[in-house]
Each structure stands twice: as structure tokens, then as C-alpha cells.
Amino acid sequence: MKILNALIVLLVFSYSGISQAEVVVVANKNNEVKALTKKQVIDIYMGRTSFFPDGQAALPIDQKASSVVRKLFYNQLVNKTVSEINAYWARLIFSGRATPPRTLESVTTIIDFIKKNKSAIAYIQLEDVTDDVQVINYVD
């Protein structure tokens, strides 16, 4: 079953024209954190921490559930499908241990939110990066 899921994900990404090197993690350009490791991104997006390494609060933002970029991000980050991530969060929410990332509907909304919130962190395609945000991780 996992092989079938992997093939489906590969087909979706091939069809969509999104290459794996195009997804980046971004933050407010005034955020003191200038880079995060893959492990630090995982810890923030999987609810293991709600802080940047410097102790500043981190507010992770997800793209909408149907987003191909969201599927690619979680596949590359933790080798899981969006359904598996949703099940993971359902368990954490039920146990009261963590709050899932906030979901915003469009890249424009995400960039505007990051621009106004120093503690926001999100993932977008590299081509969508503007001067209003800084790249702090290249997802691979």
C-alpha cells in the first residue's frame, strides 16, 4: 500500500510540474532566525515544539488541504501523506498535547500573514517568495 501511495504522490507531482527542490520554508523578514534545520522544521510542524531555536514563539501555517505543495511538503519533510498527517494531528488534538498549524487558503494570504506576524512560519514554492519574507529552509 505504501508503494502505491508513493507512486500516486510521484504522479501528482510530475503532473503538476512541481519539482521537489521548489518548496521552501519562509518566515517574517524581521525574524531573528535566519535558518532552520530539517529537524527544527519537523519539530515545529509536528507539534513537538512551538518555539524557534532562539526561544521566540513559532506560529506554523499550513496551505489548504487540497494543495499539491502541502502534499509535497509533508512527503519530503516526514515521508507522510496528508491523510497520515491529519490522523497524526487528530490523535494529538484528542490527547490535548498540541495544536495543529493554522491553515490559510492562498499563498497571497500566507505571505500577508507572515508579513504582519513576526513569529509566523510557512512553506511555499520558491517562485512565490517575495521581499516580504525570508527563506529559512529549503525542503528536500
- Average of per-residue pLDDT across 23-47: 97
What confidence tens digit (pLDDT) does each residue in 84-129 have? 999 999 999 998 888 999 999 999 999 999 999 999 999 999 999 9
Query: Is the distance from CB of 66 to CB of 103 less than 8 angstroms?
Result: no
Model pTM score: 0.84
Instruction: Specify which residues 60 forms β-bridges with.
Output: 121
Report the sign of the C-alpha dihedral through residues 74, 35, 23, 128, in that order.
positive
Higher pLDDT, 14 or 23: 23
- The residue assigned the cell 535558518 is 35
Give Dmax over CA atoms of the chain in angstroms: 44
DSSP state letters, 6-35: HHHHHHHHHHHT--GGGEEEEEETT-S---
* CA distance between the termini of the chain: 23
Q: Return the CATH number of the domain spanning residue range 2-138.
A: 3.40.190.10
